[in-house]
Amino acid sequence: MKEKKLKLLTAIMGAAALLTHSCNKPEATSLAELEITTESPLEVSATGGIATFSYEITNPADNGAISAFADSDCDWISGINTEQANIVAFDVDRNPSEESRRATITLTYTFGNQTIEDSIELIQKGNGINDDDPEEPEVFDYEFTASVFAGEYCGTYMTEKGKHAYVTQLSNNQDVSQPETTTYLFGMICSEPEDGRYPYPTTGLYNLYNDGYEDMTFFSAKYIFVNGNGDIESELDIIDGVVEFRKDGDAYVFEAKFTDSEGKRHHVTYSSKVSLVYNFNAQNTNTLALTYDVRFAANSASARYEKLEEGRLAEVSLTFAEDGYEVYNSDMNVTVYFPFDESNGELMTGTYTVSNEIGAFTIKPGYWLEYNGVQLAGKGTYLDFVYDGGRIAVGIVTSGTMTVSGKKGAYDITFDFLTEDGYSLKGTYKGDVNIDRFGLSTLSGDREVDLSGATATIENKYDLDVYYDSRQYESGWELNIATENGDRVRFQLASEIMSFHEGIPAGTYSQQISSSCDINEFVKGFRKDGDFKGSFFFSDFDDNGIPQEFAPATKGTLEINKVSYFGEYLYTISFEIEDDMGNIWSGSWQGEVENLAIQNVISTLKSDREVIFENPTATAKWYGNNRRGEMLWEIVIKSENSGDCVRFNLCTSGENGFEGGVPSTQYTYSLDNDDPWRPEFLTGIVTESGELKNTFFFSDFDSNGNPKEYAPAVKGRKDGGIELTNNGDGTYYIYFKVWDDCQNWWYGEFSGAIEHIEADEKITVGY
């Protein structure tokens, strides 16, 4: 039956099995005799390892005992074991010398008051490649000169004790599965290479060692021969031998003497240049930083315009992707600068150099995106190296060049970079580079925005187009000033927290400095998924309401002033804004602003409200459970004579059961009323039928029991919540401070008895 064809560098990293022993005690007789049956001297390879010899006992005694010991001055034999009948096993250290060495092991049999002995001489070979007697030339069964060397550097990922591993192949054919191909496969272990960017094995002698990963050893060696039919005719383990790796001028030399599992001797030589491939596992998996050289050939490219720097230098982000590799691939990200006026919207040819100074034909160095001191990703110019099924190593570029030649549609680009840790990133790309729109702005120069006859609206925004801290410090707003068919401006901004009824605070607002928007900053304009985000100028709208003229806000100032009269506000607004092409759009407007924020809220409060209870009564109704079995309670605390009232809908652990009541804890707002967690309060809402549902403040009830004053509890600031203490005797202490949807607090406290009520029918929420 045909053998399975050999594949390149397949499954060579096995480990040799250690000898195992069993113990069988002989039957005792008298007149014992002892004889070592293994021929002396016993030869052991320079590699060492476990060795054995055999013996026989004639007429063993009932009380006989066997023991063995080596010469007292021999420190390279240890672990002598006589537990297995008729076998003595022992450990032999590797011989570090090129000279052979000798020792004697004495075997002793003691029975009663008698002792008999026998001994065997042990000779361990030296580790020299030419340690044989020069007067007796070595005879080999196979003489083989390899013409192909292939190797992978594997770093330390597969070894112990920090040793470095190589997988090597010596053959007469690049494709080792081809007919009439001889191949020797083996691994090599040595210390860390002198230069991690060019990690050649340490020169010197390597001995076979299958019991771990020792320095200057080779392991898992095989001899394989594929016959003329393309089938594996021989696949034998190498059981003894030595490999010498040395440098001869520009060439590296392999010379090996092997003994295979059939006892045949092999002499293998190779002399030429050595090219090692990095095994992707050589990447240190404990770090995000790249730990070795990368060579890549990109087959796709993309680019986008980022901004215009001083001197009208275009900042452009380029990404070159190496796709289609099963094991690994690379994405090279490069940020370059070149003259905008001369580029005509195309990537300019020339040599770009990594520099800390921005200038024409420079490359922005790479740097780490960090959070709390933890490296998260690369920024600027860096390589994302994807390996091991999706893991990423990042090479931060700190020096080198990118050379661009050719023309649009047929660029020829070469990369020659070094990372911050000195690793080399070399690559190529041939093809087109399309730069996504050179700036969003359609303006060809400065523009005075005409807002004659315009109207203005403001709306509170819980979510701006970038992050802002609505939970603690800031209010988000969107200001729109628009003429009926002409110019319009839109600003998204963050202000200090204040009541919705007061609108946007007066002040000077400038562009956001970081990725988030802080107090007195406006969100810079950008485009995402085809939509205009943040702050913009618009004009020339088509029939579908799409602006044909537009410009994002990238820097500048927005001035807002306002005066109050008869409960309303008169705004004076002016702005001078730079777009992403260096054009200035500016203008001013004065008038009343329609506050859409007030139209869309539930609360009737116009400022913070302290809740005062007068002769209150209180109940706690268990009305349901969520899908995890946690209990839902509704606490109602109501003053007499139509005074202040609160209702808390809580999701609790249920640890007290019904009789024990609502558990003591701090309750915060629920992110999802339809599936609350513990300990949370359900936020207040208005149903389609107009019902005020879940957690609310109420007061000033009419004759029908309907409140004229009310405010929901909503998702709010960090320092709010409901703090409940169950005293265990039917009484409670409750302190609450929650936000309404006008950014007002309603707060207060209650101390007293609460009646527990079990609902007739309970509901279950969650999915």
The answer to whether residues 453 and 592 belong to one domain is: yes
Question: Which of the listed ranges 173-177, 338-342, 547-551 does the model predict with the highest average pLDDT?
Answer: 547-551
pLDDT score of 31: 80
Q: Which residue has the higher pLDDT, 535 or 44?
A: 535
What's the pLDDT score for residue 721?
92
Q: Which residues pair with 150 in a beta bridge?
A: 169
Residue 346 has pLDDT above 90, yes or no: no
Domain end residue (candidates: 94, 124, 154): 124
Q: 485 and 583 in one domain?
A: yes
Q: What is residue 746's predicted lDDT score, i.e. its pLDDT?
A: 95
595: CB partners within 8 A, 6+ apart: 457, 458, 500, 501, 503
Shared domain for 700 and 726, answered yes or no, is yes
Label residue 72 exposed, middle or buried (CB < 10 Å: 0-12, 13-18, 19+). Answer: exposed
Q: What is the pLDDT of residues 674-684, one digit of tens each?
A: 999 989 999 99
| 153 and 60, same domain (yes or no) | no
pTM (two decimals): 0.44
What is the rounded average pLDDT of the residues 223-227?
Answer: 94
Number of Cβ atoms within 10 Å of the Cβ of 353: 14
Token pair belonging to 488: 């319009």
Asked if residue 259 lies in contact with residue 139, where contact means CB atoms within 8 angstroms, the answer is no
Q: Is 659 helix (H, G, I), strand (E, B) or coil?
A: helix
463 and 427 part of one domain: no
Distance between CA atoms of residues 614 and 750, nearest Å: 10
> Of 411, 436, 461, which closes a domain?
436
Residue 514 CA from chain centroid, whole number = 23
The answer to whether residue 24 scores a pLDDT higher than 70 is no
Of 402, 436, 470, at which residue does a domain stop? 436
Same domain as 476, residue 429: no
CB neighbour burial string for 23-34, b if at least 16 within 10 angstroms, e if fewer: eeeeeeeeebeb
What is the C-alpha separation between 209 and 217, in angstroms, rounded? 6
Average pLDDT, the chain: 86
Closest by CA position to 211, among listed 93, 63, 291: 93
Confidence at residue 632, expressed as pLDDT on a 0 to 100 scale:
96
Is there a domain that residue 137 lies in?
A: no
Verify that 318 and 238 share a domain, yes or no: no
Q: Is residue 2 part of a domain?
A: no
pLDDT level of residue 128 (50, 70, 90 thresholds): low
Q: Are residues 69 and 161 in the same domain?
A: no
- Say whether both 120 and 164 belong to one domain: no
Least confident of 194-198, 232-236, 554-558: 194-198
Average pLDDT (229-245) is 90
Structure confidence at residue 508 (pLDDT): 97
| C-alpha distance across the termini of the chain, in Å | 60
Assigned domain for 17 exists: no
Q: Are residues 476 and 588 in the same domain?
A: yes
334 and 251 together in one domain: no
> What does the H/E/C string look like for 556-619?
EEEEEEEEEECCEEEEEEEEEEECCCCCEEEEEEEEEEEEHHHHCCCCCCCCCEECCCCCCEEE
Segment 561-576, tens digit of pLDDT: 999 877 789 999 999 9
Q: Using one digit for the tens of pLDDT, what is the confidence trace for 94-126?
A: 888 888 899 999 999 998 888 999 999 999 988
Residue that wins the pLDDT comparison between 239 and 753: 753
Q: Which residue has the tokens 């009926």?
A: 484
CB 714 within 8 A of CB 740: yes
CA distances for 526 relative to 84, 493, 530, 594, angstroms: 80, 14, 10, 26
Quote the number of domains for the chain. Answer: 5
According to the 3-state scheme, what is the secondary structure of 370-405? EECCEEEEEECCEEEEEECCCEEEEEEEEEEEEEEE
Going by their DSSP bridges, the two strands 455-460 and 474-482 should be labelled as antiparallel
Q: What is the DSSP string of 201-214?
A: PPSEEEEE--SS--
Average pLDDT (328-346) is 86
Cα-to-chain-centroid distance, residue 692: 46
Q: Residue 308 contacts by C-beta under 8 Å, 6 or more apart in sequence?
A: 314, 315, 340, 439, 580, 581, 582
CA distances, 218 to each of 167, 257, 280 (Å): 10, 12, 21
Mean per-residue pLDDT for 182-211? Answer: 82
Whether 133 has a pLDDT exceeding 60, the answer reads no
Q: Distance between CA atoms of 721 and 714, rounded to whole angstroms? A: 10
The confidence band for 2, taking pLDDT boundaries of 50, 70 and 90, is very low
**3-state secondary structure labels for all residues of 48-95:** CEEEEEEEEEECCCCCCEEEEEECCCCCCEEEEECCCCCEEEEEECCC
**CATH code at position 72:** 2.60.40.10
Two structure tokens written together for 152: 């992978």
Residue 129 domain flag? no
* Distance, C-alpha 475 to centroid of its chain: 34
Q: Please, are residues 208 and 241 in contact by the beta-carbon 8 Å criterion?
A: yes
What tokens were used for 65?
């005992």
80 falls within a domain: yes
| Amino acid letter, 314 | A
Considering the domain architecture, whether residues 651 and 757 belong to the same structural domain is answered as yes
pLDDT of residue 19: 22
- pLDDT band of residue 534 (cuts 50, 70, 90) is very high
pLDDT of 267: 92
Residue 356 binned pLDDT confidence (cut-offs 50, 70, 90): very high
Distance of alpha carbon 165 from alpha carbon 187, whole angstroms: 7
Backbone angles phi, psi at 292, to 5 degrees: -165, 170
**Paired strand residues for 602:** none
Give one DSSP letter per residue of 607-653, joined into a string. Answer: S-EE---SS-EEEEEEEEEETTS-EEEEEEEE-STT--EEEEEEEE-
Assigned token pair, 232: 């594996």
> Is residue 761 domain-resident?
yes
Per-residue pLDDT tens over the stretch 699-733: 999 989 999 999 999 987 667 899 999 999 999 99
The CB density around residue 2, as the number of other CB atoms within 10 Å, is: 8
User: Is residue 666 assigned to a domain?
Assistant: yes
Q: Which of 418, 448, 179, 429 is nearest to 318 (CA)?
A: 429
Over the range 647-670, which residues count as b (16 or more CB within 10 Å of their CB) and which as e? Answer: bbbbbbebebeeeebbbbbebbbb
Residue 16 has pLDDT above 70, yes or no: no
Measured CA to CA, the distance from residue 5 to residue 177 in angstroms comes to 6
Whether residue 13 is contained in a domain is answered as: no
Domain of 720 in residue numbering reads as 609-765
pLDDT in tens, 459-514: 988 789 998 887 667 789 999 999 988 999 999 999 988 777 888 999 999 999 99
Residue 377 in this model has a pLDDT that exceeds 70: yes
Distance (Å, rounded) from C-alpha 730 to C-alpha 750? 13
pLDDT at position 742, please? 83
- Confidence class of residue 274 from pLDDT cuts 50, 70 and 90? confident
Q: In percent, how much of the chain has pLDDT > 70?
A: 91
Instruction: Please tell me the predicted confidence (pLDDT) of residue 525.
Output: 95
Residue 350 clears pLDDT 70, i.e. is over it:
yes
